[in-house]
Chains A and B, each alone.
Chain A
């Protein structure tokens, strides 16, 4: 074989390098975009990361209970739900979704149920069990006075691991806005959630709650809740059947908003919509009756003569 000149080899190599660079550069930009979308965890764990998201929500729940938490062996006997996402022990968490209902009894029932579910230890089975318990946290307490911030890292990681898990966004936003007074951060979390799940009515509803409750912007809150209502209606029948509580919350809060603005007919129509899906529509019926009575009184009242 004839010997190739070094200049020719160099020239050929340079051509190959240039060709490869043009091909790889296009692909590399796609990899970068993918990595930017999912973050470092997505890059390392791939789609399998979603499996771990629940574990991190549990971690946040463990912190919320200051380490007093049932193991998987205890959970087999109890029906304890995660307080971090349901706010079982916390009146505020329930309140933000059900302001229209007079749910004091319901909230205290939930608290009792949570206390019962968290009483998983029972009496020691034997002397060894009793001895081991001396080295365990045996008191059911919750983080308070701003210490709730300690749950945030795990919730943030859970969001990164499963961006389609709605309850993580709503729980994070709740703890940020209602417990830590960090409305801006809560809004950011919900915006991220809406970016990742643009058609989800629950996130839009929660965003509306922040506008209404924390920012007192009635116009924006109404707009968000109406959009949430539209998104809920656009869902498949199956999704609607699975989420009647979301419709309940949207309609009740819209009803309250309109009631506060003095738009009684609209408020009545929203309450009636909520009554179709509410687990206990009696309180809503009472609201509707009150509003109808107020409308009747207003129409019967003598008008002041024009001066």
Chain B
């Protein structure tokens, strides 16, 4: 466990050394503040559009941070040849995979906290709404979803050779799931065999990342899912994380360490 934690700490340190997070945070802040300063019919109490824009930017930024940070972990170790001394420590390949995953997941979680702190301050100042319970659930659900994305990217990084290919493919897959994952069943119903069965199989196999998106509830001040539902969603994400990490380890354990 100590080894895994040590590996994770290195990844976390890497996040605040690199500029990605700072650039995305400043961009988010600037766009949100610019949107907040817009005047719509001299009514300063209009605030939902600001929540919407800020949450969209947070989603995009954390998604990019998670994918880009994770995609380069193992390939960078291979390219710099630091993977050899690392595995000679001794650190097993499973520990390496888990350590890298944990580091990336915690790092994106920390980034998420910073983004949400900004979001709470901005929307609180604008609309005087402080729904801490709802924010807590939203952060928790998004963090679980980012865990699945980090695991998926980790698998991609041991399958594809280039970091750019891993990042691009992961972003496309995640975007596809977020946009049509939920609706695959509606499309499947209208299709003839064998497309119907194929779509159903995809529907049940993919991790439904859109499930963790509760932005509409936050923006429109609607009831958030209950604690039990959030717990079940956490379990759902944890299952996918475990399965994908096992697949990553199976692939990584046989792969050559030379680039």
Residues 202-249 of B at the A interface (beta carbon under 8 Å): 203-204, 208, 210-214, 216-217, 219-222, 225-226, 229, 232-233, 236
B48 at the interface (CB under 8 A from A): yes
A153: which of B40, B180, B187, B211 is its contact (CB, 8 Å)?
B40
Chain A residue at minimum C-beta to C-beta distance from B41:
A185
A-B contact count (CB 8 A): 73
Assembly CA distance A176 to B47 (angstroms): 17
Chain A residue at minimum C-beta to C-beta distance from B215:
A67
B251 at the interface (CB under 8 A from A): no
A137 at the interface (CB under 8 A from B): yes
The winner among A134, A137, A150 for most chain B CB atoms within 10 A is A150
Q: Given A74-B186, A134-B229, are A156 and B41 also a contact pair (CB < 8 Å)?
A: yes
Contact in complex: B212, A149 (CB < 8 Å): no
Contact in complex: A67, B225 (CB < 8 Å): no
Q: Given A63-B48, A132-B182, A134-B225, are A152 and B208 also a contact pair (CB < 8 Å)?
A: no
A129 at the interface (CB under 8 A from B): yes
- Chain B residues lying within 8 Å of A131, measured Cβ to Cβ, are 211, 232, 236
Contact in complex: A132, B208 (CB < 8 Å): yes
- Chain A residues lying within 8 Å of B141, measured Cβ to Cβ, are 135
In the complex, how many angstroms separate the beta carbon of A73 from the nearest chain B beta carbon?
4
Q: Given A67-B216, A156-B41, are A149 and B46 also a contact pair (CB < 8 Å)?
A: yes
In the complex, how many angstroms separate the beta carbon of A191 from the nearest chain B beta carbon?
14
The winner among A71, A135, A152, A154 for most chain B CB atoms within 10 A is A135
B183 at the interface (CB under 8 A from A): yes
- Chain B residues lying within 8 Å of A74, measured Cβ to Cβ, are 186
A66 at the interface (CB under 8 A from B): yes
A67: which of B187, B222, B233, B236 is its contact (CB, 8 Å)?
B222
Contact in complex: B45, A154 (CB < 8 Å): no
Residues 74-103 of B at the A interface (beta carbon under 8 Å): none
Chain B residue at minimum C-beta to C-beta distance from A189:
B41
A16 at the interface (CB under 8 A from B): no
In the complex, how many angstroms separate the beta carbon of A66 from the nearest chain B beta carbon?
4
Contact in complex: B185, A182 (CB < 8 Å): no
Residues 57-72 of A at the B interface (beta carbon under 8 Å): 63, 66-67, 71
Assembly CA distance A134 to B236 (angstroms): 14
Contact in complex: A132, B211 (CB < 8 Å): yes
Chain A residue at minimum C-beta to C-beta distance from B226:
A134
- Chain B residues lying within 8 Å of A150, measured Cβ to Cβ, are 46-49
In the complex, how many angstroms separate the beta carbon of B5 from the nearest chain A beta carbon?
32
Chain A residue at minimum C-beta to C-beta distance from B43:
A149
A145 at the interface (CB under 8 A from B): no
A7-37: CB near B (< 8 Å → 1, else 0) gives: 0000000000000000000000000000000
Residues 91-139 of A at the B interface (beta carbon under 8 Å): 125-126, 128-129, 131-132, 134-137, 139
Contact in complex: B212, A135 (CB < 8 Å): yes
In the complex, how many angstroms separate the beta carbon of B171 from the nearest chain A beta carbon?
21
Contact in complex: B46, A153 (CB < 8 Å): yes
B52-64: CB near A (< 8 Å → 1, else 0) gives: 0000000000000
Contact in complex: B211, A63 (CB < 8 Å): no
Contact in complex: B220, A153 (CB < 8 Å): no
B189 at the interface (CB under 8 A from A): yes
Chain A residue at minimum C-beta to C-beta distance from B179:
A71
A73-B187, A152-B41, A185-B42 given; 5 more Cβ-contact pairs under 8 Å: A125-B189, A135-B141, A149-B46, A154-B49, A156-B41
Which residues of B are at the interface with A, using a C-beta cutoff of 8 A? 38, 40-43, 45-49, 141, 180, 182-183, 185-187, 189, 203-204, 208, 210-214, 216-217, 219-222, 225-226, 229, 232-233, 236
Which residues of A are at the interface with B, using a C-beta cutoff of 8 A? 63, 66-67, 71, 73-74, 125-126, 128-129, 131-132, 134-137, 139, 149-150, 152-154, 156, 176, 182, 185
30 contacts between A and B (CB under 8 A): A63-B220, A66-B220, A66-B221, A66-B222, A67-B222, A73-B180, A125-B189, A126-B185, A128-B185, A128-B203, A128-B208, A132-B211, A134-B226, A135-B211, A135-B229, A136-B216, A137-B216, A137-B217, A139-B222, A149-B41, A149-B43, A149-B45, A149-B46, A150-B46, A152-B46, A153-B40, A153-B46, A154-B49, A182-B41, A185-B42
